[in-house]
Structures are given as C-alpha cells and as structure tokens.
Structure 1
Amino acid sequence: MEEKRQYLEKNRHGTSIFPAEYYHCVYPAGLAGLPVHWHEEFEVTYVRKGRCTYLIDLAPCQVQEGDVLFLPSGVLHGIPEGKTRMLETDSVVFHPSMLGGRGDACQMKYVAPLEKGDVRFPDVIRAGETDGLAGKLAGLCGRMRESFAAKEEGYELEVKAALLEILLLLYREAPARWLRRENREVVEKLRAVLGYIKENYQRPLSVAELAGVCHFSEYYFMRFFRQYMNMTCVEYINQYRMEIAAGRLAAGRESVTDIALDTGFNNLSYFNRVFRRSFGMTPRAYRQALQKEEGQ
C-alpha cells in the first residue's frame, strides 16, 4: 500500500535541526473520521483528489481537489466522521523556526504574527480563485514532495526556499485578517482537554477527570464538548483510540489483543465492536485488506 494514514499530532515532524516532514495521505470514502487535533507546527496541505469536510477551529469547511490549506500553529483541525469522498492529500508539517532566524526581520514582521495568532490567512485557498494562487501553492507543494522523495544534496535548502516562497505568496496575494478573539477561550479549553486525552488515552478516562481539566462541572462540560465537537467526549475518545489502533494494525505485526489493551480497551469484544462500527470491518479483516493491497 503506497501510504498509511498519518496521525500528525502523534508524529515528530522532521528532526531538531530540520523540523519539517512530508506526508502523503489517503483517506478512503466514509472514513471514520480524523480526530480533531492541533500542533505547534505550521501545516500546508494540497488536496490532490477527492473532497471532504474539514473542521477548522470549530467551523465546518468544504475542501476539494485543487484546494490548498494553510494552518498555522495551534489551529484545531480534523475531519468529522464519515465526511470524506476518497480524499488524497500531500502535506508538509514544519516548525515556524524554519522560516526565519531569531530576531530577524522575517521572523518579527511575518512569522511571529502568524505563530501568535494575531494574523490569519484564509484556511483554504480555493482552486480557481485569487488569481491562480492555489495553483502556485500546489506547484510549490509538488516541488517539496519531490525534494523529500529524492533527498538529493541540498534538498533541505530546496524545501526551505519553497516554504519561504509560500509565505511570500500568502502575504502578497491572500487576504490577511486580524483574528476575532471571542472564541479564543473556547478554543483554549478544547486544546487543553484534547491534549489531555492525547496524553492519557491508554488508560480509563472519566467525564469528571476531563471536566476538571477545563474547571467545569461534569454537566456543563458534557454540554460544552458536544456543542463544539458535535459528539460526546466518550465518542471522541473512542474515535481517537480507533485511529491509533488502525495505524498500529497497518504498521506492524502486533496482536489485536495487545493493540486493544494498549489503546485503552480492557474488553476485546468491545474493542472489536467499536472498530467494526468505525471502519466497517473487524480489526483482523482490516489488517488483511491492507496486506492484500500492499501485495498488489
């Protein structure tokens, strides 16, 4: 199989001296969903094929072939359950330090406002709009894909040059805006609880425990989470665990039982039931399907 889905919030993107990584991702139609997450790095994603609904900072956003997403630090993003139509993307995830040295003009004038969330470009640059900007950005994404694939001498310079050119194009051709702050507290609360789930998904998590992260009562927390995430916290935790489990089924030869236990399920039957509901097949059938596709 050409690609296994990448779960960006779990990966180290590049190295300490070259903090950038390329991901080619394929999401089958009817995917159970990519859990909403966030990271400190910037992300640029080119939609090669298909379409889906992204959730970006709590708002649904339709994307399709030819569109380019630019997501700076801290932006909540994911794909709601069952909202894909055979999506294929190229993504580069990189730390903003790649774009400017400490204290230089590039960092102070252009990178820092994006990193702090003071300025924001459109989350999606749409194909056919903004005087062909999406096509220019797609070309740069393609150049970086080839650089990461070949890793010829100086490829790091080539990737950095493309990232700087992307930033230049955005500042010159995309309409920037100062962020409205009224949803800031909501986003911060959600970041805190999603980060807590990420760090603790391997053990039982109670509503009371998660509510404590936000300093809410259990009743208010359940209403709050469902209002902004369009699912209960239990549904989100199961979805997150399923994505981790699917990645491990695809990546190795661990037993289904070991994966179930290590992703927070003490009951194998319940794990199998949740997995089937999410992916339309049992964990073993899922692994066999991947192996068959790889063999082809």
Structure 2
Amino acid sequence: MPDAPVILRHADILAPGECAALTRAALSPARPALHGHDFFELAWVQNGRVRHHLPDGREDLAEGSVICAGPGHLHGLQGRGEHALVVSVTLHPDLVTDLARRHPDLAGRLFWSGAAAPVRLTRDSRQMAELNRAALRLERGRRDALGAEAFLLPIICGLTEEEAPLPAQAPVWLARACAAARDPAVFQEGAAGFARAAGKAHPHVSRSMRRFLDMSPSDWINAQRMDYAARRLTGSADSLAEIAAECGVPNLSHFHKLFREAHGQTPQRFRRARQRDVVQP
C-alpha cells in the first residue's frame, strides 16, 4: 500500500499574524511524491518547464503557467531539464474564505471552483512582469491580512477576467485546455493546438466545446488571438503584419475580418483610439 500523502500545514509556514508567505524553489528532476495542504496556494512557473503530477495523471507546464490549489488538492511539481523555477505563495485559509464571503462573484472560480484538481491559467510576458512586481512588493512589504489582500485582489481580478466561463459539470481537461489556449504557443496552432492542449481527439474536443460553450475550438482560439492582438496593438508599435503573424493569422485580410468581428472596428482605428487615449486622457 502506498504511503499516505504528506499534508502541509499553514501553521508551520506562516508566522503569527501573517496571511501570506512567498517562496522561490528550484525544482529537482526527481519525480515527487504527491502532497496536500490545509491552505490555499498560488504558484507559477517562473522559468523553465515543469511537470505537474496529479492523482489522475500529469500535465506539462511552461513559463507563465499559474495554478490555484486549495485544501483537498493533491499534487506535486517536478523540474523538466535545467533551471526549472517555481514561485509559490502560501495563503491563509481564513483570508481566502473571507474574500469569497465578501465577493460572491468569486463562487465557482479559481480557488473557489470546487474542481477536483487545481485550476490552471496562463500569463503572457507582460502579465508575468506584473505578477513578479506584485510578488516583490509582497516580499518587501507587510504580510498581514491587509498586505496579503493588497497582493491577491489585483491578481484575482486579472485571472477571473480570462478564466473560461465553463459550467460546473464541464470536464477538468476542457477548462485546462481553454486556459492553455491563451498562450501564443498554443493559439498560433489554431484548433489543432487546442486539441493538443486538451489531450483528446479533435472530434471529442469539438463535441465537448459545443455542449459546454456552444462554440467550436476555432471560435475559442480566435477569441484568444484577438484579445492578444488588442493588447499588442495598444502596447506596442509593431506592425499589423508582425502582430497578425504572432497570432497565427498571417493572412492580413483574414486578420482584419476576425479583429472587426471581435472588436467592432479595424485594427488601425482600434490602435489610434487606444494610444491617443493613453497620451490624452
């Protein structure tokens, strides 16, 4: 019979009065034993590649992958190659429970999803920079309830804006694929990238998307592409051709069509309006 998993306790990690603690860990390539904890954990892959072991399988995480784990989740992290680095934030259970009480819209999402496995999302390079700045402020600042909440709330706001609006009965693999499809490395491949992230046959993925989201994998992928394009148009001076290629839509005519359907105006007009508003609020 296998050994019972180790359960980590927040009382052993958080000092009296603390509601958050941040650690940076270089991961070993050795396969880890699964562990659980009585607290909530926000963790992200800072560098390299990581294998995330779960009771029912495993998944590979790239730089920018974020996981939200809670009490009852069993998992383990393994480095894949050199320089695998993970940042982990231990969050007091009372802090996270109180946030849900004060913000009912969080029910069924992130830490409060009720899913059998940790929720996973993906941050792009700009969002990772914001996350790391927040982590640095937490390390240097207060870690009581006020400091922990000041760290966590902006992150939660950003994550919930991009979390897949899936019903509770949707399979975990579909939620993970929807989150993974926000990564340019995935959406550049189109529907094939979505199916690969799901780890399921394309027909099964398409049927599940229709059932739970009333859209096709291509619809979801194109929505992520156009969200990314909007951010790039606002925050850079790169050409439309460069941005379209990054989105996996090198045909500019098709890129214009998708963008207008998503945002109601041409990419050029969208860029002029947003960049002007930044300079002249």
TM-score range (shorter-chain normalised) is: 0.3 to 0.5
- Calculate the TM-score normalised by the size of structure 1: 0.45
Tell which has more relative contact order, 1 or 2 (C-alpha 8 A, sep 6+).
1
